Every structure is written in C-alpha cells, then in structure tokens.
Amino acid sequence: MKKRGPTPATTAHCERGESIAGADTGTTQRWRRDILVRPELWFASSGSRSGARPMSSADPPFSSIRYLPTSEAYDRWAAVYDTDGNFLQKLDTMEMKTLFPRFIASLPEPARRPWRIVDLGCGTGRNTALLLTVPDTEIVALDASQGMLDVARSRLLPRTGEEGPDPGKETWTGKGEGAARPNLRFGLHDIIATSSPPETARDADGVISTLVVEHVPLPLFFEHAAALLRPGGVLLLTNMHADMGAVSQAGFVDAATGEKIRPTSYAHTVADVVAEAGRWGLRVEGGDGIREVAVDEDMVDALGPRSRKWIAGIKARDLFFFFFFSTNNVALHLIFTAVLGV
C-alpha cells in the first residue's frame, strides 16, 4: 500500500515557522515548533559562554562552548564517544535490553527473509552490534558522520569475517560464514543534507534510530523514516526528552582545545513527536506505547557520576520511549523511544 506524506495543512504550518539560529543551515532553520537548545543559558554560574562552568563537578571542565554542524561535531567526538562518560548513551543501552527483543518480535512475520533492518544514525555501531545477533538479516548502517562510521566499521567488520572496503569507499557488504549469517552494509547519509534515503536502504522491515532525532527537525526525520520502511515495517526510536533538552544537550569537551563542542539540537516535546508521526501515518500503540524512564540512586553506579545531577533538583525527564503502530490505511509500525529525568 502506498505510504502517504503529511497533509497540505501540515506542510503549510511548518513553512510558516520562524527562522532559528543553529550551526546547520538551510532546511534546519525553518521549524518554529522545534526549540533550538542553548543549554549554557541555564547555567546560573556561567556569566557568558566563555568560561561557562558545567552543572556538576562530575562533568569535565571547559573553557568555552563552540557550536558546529552536527556531522562535524560528531566527527570530532567519534574517537572518545564510547569512553567519555556519556550517561545518556548508557541509559539507552540499558533500556535496549528490553526494547530490542520487543522490536525484533514486532517485525513482520518471516514470510520473506532475510529481513532488511536499517540503523539510522548508527554512530559507533552500539546498536548495530545487536542487529548482528539476528540471523538471516541484511543490516544497513547509516550515519552523517564519517568519523563515527569509521569507528563502527573497525568495531563491527571483524564480526562479519570481512577485511573491509577499498580505501575511500563509503559502502560495502561484509558477510559472515553461512547463508543465515547477518549481512552488513555501511553508508554515509545525512538526513539534513539529502532529500531522500539511499535506495539500498529502502523497503526496510525495520528501522532503529537511537538518540538521533534530537539533531533533526521532526518533519525531516519522519519523512526519511517513512521512506525507508516498507508497508508493515517497524521503527524503534529513542531521544532526549524536551524537559531535559531545555537544560542539557549532546556534546563533549575536546581535550585538545578545552572547548565544549556541541552539535545543533532541538528539544522535541512528546506531543510534537506523536503529532508529527501521525502526519506520516503512524499511531501510538495502546497500553505501554509511551514509556518514560528517570534516573534514580540505584542507577548511578551503572550510569556513572554524571547521571547523579538528574536524580533531584531539576523537575525534568531524562528518557522516554514511544511505541507507534500503523493507521488502518498505511501499514507502518513505529516503536519510538525518548529520554527524561526527575
């Protein structure tokens, strides 16, 4: 069944949006409903961006804040992304222990195999590695950052039994032993800079996208997700909650310069995400379709000291999870996840 896009009224609403400031240009600037995050404005102790101090002594100190286009920021972050104490990534990994089996169980019945599953914004391959445990599956790992893809390749290709691609090649396939082993392909893809996803990733049975939509206007994200999925497909999505996004943002301290590097980020509300998903033919599953997770004292040892500041004091949410399923006329399934603190 043909997938439908947003209604004309929806498109008109988005185009009326005011321009907003950010590192990315063009389409990224137009969406009024997406609040561009500038967290340093919330630091009562910081008189200006220069010399701003973090909210917790567990955070590394920095001399200034520098905003970069998202792909460039993640290129610089890639080398330390998995080791710099990012508690949100750890919290996401903890939740994936239950979300991932549910995602796999939600995929279409195996009338056609192998399944095709896309990791949209795969980063260093943290969740792509989970996909490699699913037999008889074609995996397409996409990211806008060449640096993050390089880390994912070095991390995952040895598991497939392949040596890797020719130098400079952006996509290739690594196959394990036996016809039922996963088949892995990587690709450089920027949702902001390109109008549609690559053909090699389309007609997917499932899409995983974790901690990505924070950096993308909602209409663009769901346009790409809908274009990737085949009728009956499933999307698992995780993201930072708008309450947390109002006082925090993705970023890292560059040890070489002492700068806090931040990509462009948007504080998407739960209501806006649900509404935009609906415009692309997706509805929330009943029951536990929306799940919210907060940090508590018992989680600090596992998440690291930087998570402690979210236990009390800020009445916000850290992590939330949505489960969307198709409307009657568009056979798409979406499992959406996001993040909140207390």
Q: Which domains does the chain have, with CATH numbers?
A: 86-250+267-340 (3.40.50.150)
Q: Work out the percent of the chain whose per-residue pLDDT is above 70.
A: 55
Q: Does the global pTM surpass 0.75? A: no
More confident residue, 29 or 114: 114
Is residue 286 pLDDT above 80, yes or no? Answer: no
What contacts 36, CB < 8 A, 6 or more positions away? Answer: 20, 21, 22, 264, 265, 266, 267
In angstroms, the CA 133 to CA 136 distance is: 10
Q: What are phi and psi of 28, to 5 degrees?
A: -60, -20
CA atoms within 13 A on the CB side of 52: 20
Q: Where do we find the tokens 């600090």?
A: 300
How large is the average pLDDT for residues 241-247?
A: 71
Render pLDDT for 189-198 as a digit per residue (tens, 0 to 9): 999 999 889 9
For residue 278, give both structure tokens: 């609906």
Is the peptide bond between 114 and the residue preceding it cis, with omega within 30 degrees of 0?
yes
Which structure tokens are listed for 41?
A: 């404005």
State pLDDT tens for residues 209-234. 988 988 999 999 999 988 998 887 88
pLDDT confidence band for 299 (50 / 70 / 90): low
Q: What is the distance between the terminal CA atoms of the chain, rounded to a whole angstrom?
A: 42
Q: Which residue has the higher pLDDT, 13 or 127?
A: 127
Q: Is the pLDDT of residue 278 over 50?
A: yes
More confident residue, 327 or 249: 249
| Closest C-alpha among 239, 226, 256, 240 to residue 334 | 226
Mean pLDDT of 126-132: 94
What is the rounded distance in angstroms from the CA atom of residue 243 to the CA atom of residue 107?
A: 31
For range 100-109, the mean pLDDT: 84
Q: Quick one: tokens of 7? A: 């209604």
pLDDT-based confidence at 242, cuts 50/70/90? confident
- Asked if residue 279 has pLDDT above 90, the reply is no
